[in-house]
Amino acid sequence: MRIHKEGRRLLSILFLLLVSFNFVVAYGMRPTEQILNLSIIASIIFYLAVLQFFRNPRIAVSNNGKHILAPADGKVVVIEKTHEHEFFDDERIQISIFMSPTNVHVNRAPLSGIVRYFKYHPGKYRVAWHPKSSTDNERTTMVLTSHTGIDVLVRQIAGAMARRIKWYVNEGSQIEQGHEYGFIKFGSRVDVFLPLDATVLVHHGTKTRGGRTVLAELA
C-alpha cells in the first residue's frame, strides 16, 4: 500500500509517540501484562486507522474526452441544477461527493485540460453535508477548460474534521484526466459543476471511485 506524501511526516511522528507512550507504560508504570497488551493493541489499531486515511492506491485511468470522472472516492449526496455564483454566474448541474474518513482522500482531475481559474477561500468548518458548506467553508475552486473548450468547475470543501486542503495546481497548469491535483486531510466533500447539456450517469447514493467512476457524459 502506497502512503500519500501528505501523511508521511504525521505518521512518522505518530509512530514515535506511540512507541514512546508504550515504553513509558511498560517501564514507568509497571502495569499488569493484560494492561500492557491492551495498550499495545489500542496503539496499533489507532495507528492503522490513521494510516488508512493516507493510503494512495495506484489506479488505471481510461481517458475519454466526453466523460467526467469522479474527482474523489465517496458517495454522491447532491445532484441538482443550481446557480453557480463564483465563476460562471449561470445555471449548472451540480454533483457533490461526500468523502467519509474511511475513503481515499486523493482528489483527481475529472477531465483533461488547462486550469483556467483557481482560488483558495478561507472559511468555516461546518459539517460537509450542511447546505451552506459549499459557500461558507474553507474551500478551493478550480475551473478546468477541456481541449474542446468546455469548462468544468471543481470545488474542494473542508468539513468539521477536515482542516487542511492541499492542492498541486495553479492557473495555467495542464493536467490529465484522473491525475492527482489535491488532497483533503480526513475527508470532506467535492462539488463538480457541469454544463446543463451534460448527461448525468450516477444517482443519489452512488458510491464513487476517484478517477474511475464516470459521473456524466458531455454533449
Neighbour tally for 17: CB within 10 Å: 12
CB 153 within 8 A of CB 92: yes
Beta-carbon contacts of 198 under 8 Å, excluding residues fewer than 6 positions away, are: 68, 93, 216, 217, 218, 219
Residue 104 burial by Cβ neighbours in a 10 Å radius (0-12, 13-18, 19+): buried
Q: Which of 140, 130, 135, 148 is nearest to 195 (CA)?
A: 148
- Distance between CA atoms of 33 and 41, rounded to whole angstroms? 12
**Which one of the listed residues 39, 43, 133, 188 is annotated catalytic?**
188
Q: Any catalytic annotation for residue 133?
A: no
* Beta-strand relationship, 180-184 and 165-167: antiparallel
Strands annotated E in the chain: 67-69, 74-84, 90-99, 106-108, 113-121, 139-145, 151-157, 165-167, 174-175, 180-184, 188-194, 199-200, 207-208, 214-217
What residues are annotated to the active site?
A: 188
